[in-house]
Structure 1
């Protein structure tokens, strides 16, 4: 490898080790909120289900309890959750700026569905459809490794502006 390649690899590693890296702003759908207005801190209090089974429903946030991070507004169900988020937003924000984790593992950016989630090693991952969740769960560690390798090189342009298939944000933000 030449010196330029080594420098790029070192820089990417440093960014990853320093915390979440960004390949653009947080994904925001028609609700105007990241994660479609669901409380990203609340996911960490929900029980995890076994692989192959649906996770519990996401907790809606409230329009008057918000915080800004990575170019987006996040809504929370309580002021305590908002304060927890503000103390360490990278800990709670969805990985890959809210894009589908499996899509990123395949080298692209598509919206993440906040109702198709899983916490792995203390990080929140979203996927786009139930079928994609199945592919994601076949090899979560391998898919995370691929996604991490792809993420830093993805175009910072926003993801597809297509609606998430079979997902309508039923105005969870109150």
Structure 2
């Protein structure tokens, strides 16, 4: 009887911190990979999302970022803040509304040199109708929504 109770106590102790606040970069529940494993430099280079490789990675903000090639990895490492999605890759529209939702690397936009991810196509359609206003709202809400 003592072992299950000890295990439950141990598990609750070490997971309680995870419930206290959201991480600044969205990685999903069981991952430590930013942008769903997509090469964030590729959005700027090719104008489309490209899956990153486990062969080309960089650690930034406690997260592993993947790249399609060594050149993109080097560009990221030279200026990571330029290539990390706004709001840590959380859905930009959701942040503008005052809450967090996952950002989907397939639903994205680049505005004024920043990469923004959205939850899905429907949300992105709303985002694109008034992007500048949503960016202002999201900037005002970030990082308070992490609390």
Normalising by structure 1, we get a TM-score of 0.68
Superposition CA RMSD, Å: 1.4
Decide which structure has the larger Cα Rg and report it.
2
SS in 2 for 1:26: coil
**Aligned residue pairs, count:** 125
2:42 aligns with: 42
Distance between the aligned counterparts of 1:79 and 1:127, measured in 2? 27
- Flag the structure with more relative contact order, 1 or 2, with Cα contacts below 8 A and sequence separation at least 6: 1
Distance between the aligned counterparts of 1:67 and 1:118, measured in 2? 23
> Structure 1 unaligned runs (5+)?
1-22, 48-55, 157-174
Write the mapping of 1:14-29 to structure 2, written as runs, cut at 5 A.
24-29=23-28
- Stretches of 4+ moved more than 4 A in 1? none
> Structure 2 unaligned runs (5+)?
1-21
Q: Which structure has greater helix proportion?
A: 2
2:101 pairs with one of 101, 106, 110: 110
Normalising by structure 2, we get a TM-score of 0.80
Q: Which structure has greater strand proportion?
A: 2
State the shift of 1:103 in Å.
0.3
